[in-house]
Amino acid sequence: MAAAKSLADILKQVRELGAHYLGRVYPGEKPDFWPYSTPRPGDAPKETTQGAATRSALAVMMSDKSVTWTNMDEIDAPRQVHGAWAQVLTHEVPDWKRENVQIYPFATGQRVNLPGDKPEDMDVQGFVVEQTGMGTTLDGKPYRVSVCHVMFVKDGKVIRNNQYWGSADPNSQALNIRTLDATRGEYRRQMSTKKGRGAP
């Protein structure tokens, strides 16, 4: 039986994965970066031919069965479905860029159901990403959002991404919700009774 990894070893692994996430998976916000095409209503997202390099980078760090949850619809969606939303959003904000991107690796966790309950230890590892997204929409309006990703890692790959999106600008948040509904919408309606936000 292999020796259990120390917390230091786990932190080193998730730190390296976090660096890969920022350096390889978000390379300069290129228009053809997202590997999934925008689906028509009722259609499943389809991979683009120009997304080969991105698919390769994603495969290094993402589990084939990874899911993404967002606070805007509160459902778990497969990576392909969520990728379609990201592509539509960056189309609506052509000069999309990020600033103040920070990574916080973690190698364990705790939780309580209610404040005051005895904390329960959690066997989890991963990293948190904080960033500000900004740009100009197709109709010339400023776009600015705060985004937090909580990435859970298992066996060296991300298995879950809990995303929190918010903005003090009503137009920016409305665009987030409109584009999300255009892509994750049908899947959300199908899965509306299976809401979830917890750690794996």
The predicted pLDDT at position 1 comes to: 53
The predicted pLDDT at position 90 comes to: 83
The radius of gyration of the chain from alpha carbons, rounded to an integer in Å, stands at 17
The predicted pLDDT at position 30 comes to: 47
Contact 164, 73 (CB under 8 A): no
Indicate the pTM of the whole model.
0.76
- Among 31, 30, 36, 33, smallest CA distance to 81 is for 36
Phi, psi (rounded to 5 degrees) for 56: -65, -45
Contact 31, 97 (CB under 8 A): no
The predicted pLDDT at position 39 comes to: 43
- Among 96, 122, 91, 98, smallest CA distance to 108 is for 122
Per-residue pLDDT of the chain (200 residues), as tens digits, is: 556 678 788 888 888 877 776 654 443 444 444 444 444 444 444 444 444 555 555 666 788 889 999 999 888 899 888 888 888 888 898 888 888 888 889 988 999 888 899 999 999 999 999 999 999 999 999 999 999 999 999 988 899 999 999 999 999 999 999 999 888 887 877 766 555 555 55
Q: Which residues contact 148 (CB under 8 A, 6 or more apart)?
A: 128, 129, 130, 131, 163, 164
- Among 97, 101, 55, smallest CA distance to 79 is for 55
Domains, in order of start, for the chain: 7-190 (3.10.450.50)
Express the helix, strand and coil content of the chain in percent, nearest 5 each.
Answer: 30, 35, 35
Task: For residue 138, give Cα distances in angstroms to 114, 145, 150, 168, 181.
Answer: 44, 16, 29, 20, 18
